[in-house]
Amino acid sequence: MNEVVYCGLKLSTECSYFYVYEGSTASIVHDKSKSLLTIIYPKDSTSTSISNLLSIELIEADRKLEPMNRPEPIRKVIVSINGLEFIKTNYESHVFRIILVNDHESRVAQEYDHTTIVLNSSDKSDKNFIKYLFSNLKFLKLVNKKFDFSNYEVFNFPRITIYNKSLTLTSDNSYVHKLRNNYDKYLIRSIDYEDKFFEELGNILNNYGLELTRRNREKTLKNTSYVSYSIPQTPVKYLHPRSWDVHDSVLAHRVPVEFQLRTPDMILFFDFKNRYNNVDLLTNFTEFLTRDRYGEEWRAAVKWGYLTEDFDQNYSTDDNSNFSHQCSFRCELYFYEVYDNRFNYIEEIITELCHVGLYEENYDTIQGETTYYTGLNE
């Protein structure tokens, strides 16, 4: 049986084509010789009235029926998201979104023209919940109902518009959104660059034998030789914006980072300084890539400063009262912070949740058993 949802009516037939148009009376005809399903409806009919008259399954109530220009094939439109396949059931275009959040319960807003999944990041690891979520969508049906969700991971798909052609899409974007923060409307932020910078810098120093830590660290050091860092100021613009600038949503920023090397090992101390000054260690790390919330990469630059050359034969003590040699150096990070004006999709998602009564003004993290109410087919 072929199935298609047209103007809120679920049509099931062995025919390959269907045709819905306005007439004097309501009727439904399965013409196997032409492989054509024909539905005729009176003027100003709705999906509810025709469902009652012709005993057709109702999916969306009170939708006004629109006539078709000609018979159309019943297409099997499949959308694959990271290997998970769905069949689009409705004839018209459908917008599908999956958004990860941490300030709202998991919810699904389903209407005839869109399906929006808001998934709390704490629910990602609950595979039974993920299976329940994707198995009960109204307008997107699983192709394989026995799909193994044990190794399936959910990522962001901010907007997928499904027309009459099948799609195969992939994403590794795990950015966690906030629905309530009007101040977090950025495509990419300074903190994203800083996190990536310290991640890569930590790997470089770890391979050399040094530990990277914050100046006011909250954890115990594992190594007596370490580099501590601090950020003495917030990002500042190094290119002044102009009122006629086309790219006024792109902010060119610079932020300084100060470092201090501490080690009781004099050989390591001198070798570090030699390699730093000879552009063999750290100073050869001059750029890195950071992903924005859509998974696109942005390039940032690193400008390194001079090492302090002071030296004392006597050991000095660090913040932990350990004796060590010390030197200081700094760098500057150059990057672009960007406002997210692509779809304004966060506002759209909030509007969709509000429209179906699923948006929660206040959210408190609830510990305990997962509640499977989401706005699905309850």
Look at residue 368 and tell me if it is in a domain: no
Look at residue 363 and tell me if it is in a domain: no
The answer to whether residues 132 and 245 belong to one domain is no
Give the other-Cβ count within 10 Å of 162's Cβ. Answer: 21
pLDDT of residue 378: 46
pLDDT of residue 168: 95
Contacts of 93 (CB under 8 A, 6+ apart): 113, 161, 162, 163
SS3 at position 21? strand
pLDDT of residue 374: 55
pLDDT of residue 372: 43
Query: What is the C-alpha separation between 78 and 73, in angstroms, rounded?
Result: 15
The answer to whether residues 44 and 85 belong to one domain is no
The answer to whether residues 192 and 323 belong to one domain is yes
The answer to whether residues 151 and 263 belong to one domain is no
Q: What are phi and psi of 291, to 5 degrees?
A: -85, 140
Residue 186 carries which side chain, given as an amino acid letter? Y
pLDDT of residue 216: 78
Query: What is the C-alpha separation between 170 and 191, in angstroms, rounded?
Result: 26
Task: With CA atoms as reference, report the closest residue to 170 among 235, 84, 254, 245.
Answer: 84
Look at residue 290 and tell me if it is in a domain: yes
pLDDT of residue 314: 64
Look at residue 374 and tell me if it is in a domain: no
Domain final residue pick, 42, 73, 104: 73
The answer to whether residues 206 and 321 belong to one domain is yes
Q: Are 138 and 90 in contact (CB under 8 A)?
A: no
SS3 at position 222? coil
Domain final residue pick, 10, 41, 73: 73
Domain that holds residue 19: 2-73
pLDDT of residue 353: 79
Tens digit of pLDDT at every position of the chain (378 positions): 888 899 989 999 999 999 999 999 999 999 999 999 999 999 999 999 999 999 999 988 888 999 999 999 998 999 999 999 999 988 989 999 999 988 888 999 888 889 999 999 999 999 999 999 999 998 999 999 999 999 999 999 988 999 989 999 999 988 888 876 666 678 899 999 999 999 999 999 999 999 999 987 767 788 889 999 999 999 988 876 655 555 667 889 999 999 999 988 889 999 999 999 999 999 999 999 999 877 889 999 999 999 998 776 666 666 666 678 889 999 999 999 988 876 567 777 777 778 777 776 655 443 334 444 456 654
Look at residue 376 and tell me if it is in a domain: no
The answer to whether residues 201 and 335 belong to one domain is yes
Task: Extract the tokens encoding 302.
Answer: 């690193």
The answer to whether residues 312 and 217 belong to one domain is yes
Query: What is the C-alpha separation between 268 and 273, in angstroms, rounded?
Result: 9
Look at residue 315 and tell me if it is in a domain: yes
pLDDT of residue 237: 85
The answer to whether residues 310 and 335 belong to one domain is yes
Say which CATH number the domain at 202 has.
Answer: 3.30.2000.10
Look at residue 172 and tell me if it is in a domain: yes
The answer to whether residues 271 and 199 belong to one domain is yes
Cα-only R_g, the chain: 29
Look at residue 377 and tell me if it is in a domain: no
The answer to whether residues 67 and 109 belong to one domain is no
- How many domains are contained in the chain? 3
Q: Are 216 and 228 in contact (CB under 8 A)?
A: no
The answer to whether residues 328 and 226 belong to one domain is yes
The answer to whether residues 94 and 195 belong to one domain is no
SS3 at position 261? strand
For every residue of 84-130, DSSP letters joined together read EEEEE-BSS-EEEEEEEESSS--EEEEETTEEEEEEEGGGTT-HHHH
Give the other-Cβ count within 10 Å of 337's Cβ. Answer: 20
